[in-house]
Amino acid sequence: MTRTVVRVAEVRQEAAGIRSLRLVRDDGAPLGPYEAGAHVDVVGPTGLVRQYSLCSPPHEASSLLIAVKKEAASRGGSEALHTVGAGDTLEIGEPRNLLRVADGARHVLVAGGVGVTPLLSLAYELDRRGAEFELHYFARAREQAAFAGLLEREFGDRVHLRFGVPRAEQPTILKEVATGLTPDAQVYTCGPEGFMAQVGAVFAPVVGESRVHVEHFVAAEVDTSGDRPFTVELDTGEVFEVPADKSILAVLGENGIEVFKSCEEGICGSCVSGVLEGVPEHRDSCLSAADKAAGDQMALCVSRARTARLKIELY
């Protein structure tokens, strides 16, 4: 995996427990532009690799901006990034994208908490294109809403801040937003899992499941008790047996097959590869509903097979 050494040029407190880091290269070389909705691997001071959405304007090449929420149950990743200061160096990977701007007559962005970060870059891109969009931002209070002031300044009345709305009352507001949408609209959401499930439940019947685009921060919980072995064949002709207690990614690694990987939890999308034959059993949180329905790619770190054999190609 190619990594770039970057310097922290600026640190800002964006909300309670959330700070932003502006990253630059010492040689002045550009870090962008990047595709709106992208995220990067960040190697923190403790050596842990975590994924963070890019939330600066995608077309600005001089720097990248990430926002880090200090998690109460942090295993050292977010906590360590809350200790770095201006002048410190980090390593980042190449931007990867799972949440792209899709073609649509109207775009609705729905953020929950720190989930606003990838949607901020989408808003910048939609604004640059002159596209019709609106952003609805749910947070417990203004002081816990990162970039609230920035959103208001940059996008004006297209931003709707929803503070202190209990989870049980959020569907009522979402249904009001969905009223009048046509099937050619696109919906994008990021936030806590329960929040995104509510967004999908409201908007999918209106615009279709494939037009509700989701960005996950945590891996989905999966029951593995019924897992069975299967065979995987590479497009090079090599064949491997995948036992019930190992992933395709692990088996390939044990056999010296190098696959680009990062989170190994089905979130980042780095190990997604093509499926040439067979039917995958998707267990990831990175591919869209449309991608999963197509059945022509899969995340090797968590997904398995519905057929006795899969033939895949490594990207």
Contact 251, 312 (CB under 8 A): no
The predicted-structure confidence for 206-237, as pLDDT tens digits, reads as follows 999 999 999 876 666 778 888 999 999 999 99
- Could you tell me which residues come within 8 angstroms of residue 215 by beta carbon, excluding any fewer than 6 positions away? 37, 53, 98, 99, 115, 118, 188, 189, 190
The predicted-structure confidence for 30-76, as pLDDT tens digits, reads as follows 998 999 999 999 998 988 888 899 999 999 999 999 999 998 765 55
Q: Judge whether residue 1 has pLDDT over 90.
A: no
Q: In the chain, pLDDT over 90 holds for what percent of residues?
A: 76
Give pLDDT, residue 74: 53
Single pTM value for the model = 0.81
What CA–CA distance (Å, rounded) separates 205 from 18? 34
The predicted-structure confidence for 147-196, as pLDDT tens digits, reads as follows 999 999 999 999 999 999 999 999 999 999 999 899 999 999 999 989 99
* Residue from 140, 167, 142 nearest 152 by CA: 142
Environment class of residue 103 by beta-carbon count within 10 Å: exposed (0-12), middle (13-18) or buried (19+)? exposed
SS3 157: helix
Domains of the chain: 3-97 (2.40.30.10), 106-215 (3.40.50.80), 230-313 (3.10.20.30)
Q: pLDDT-based confidence at 133, cuts 50/70/90?
A: very high
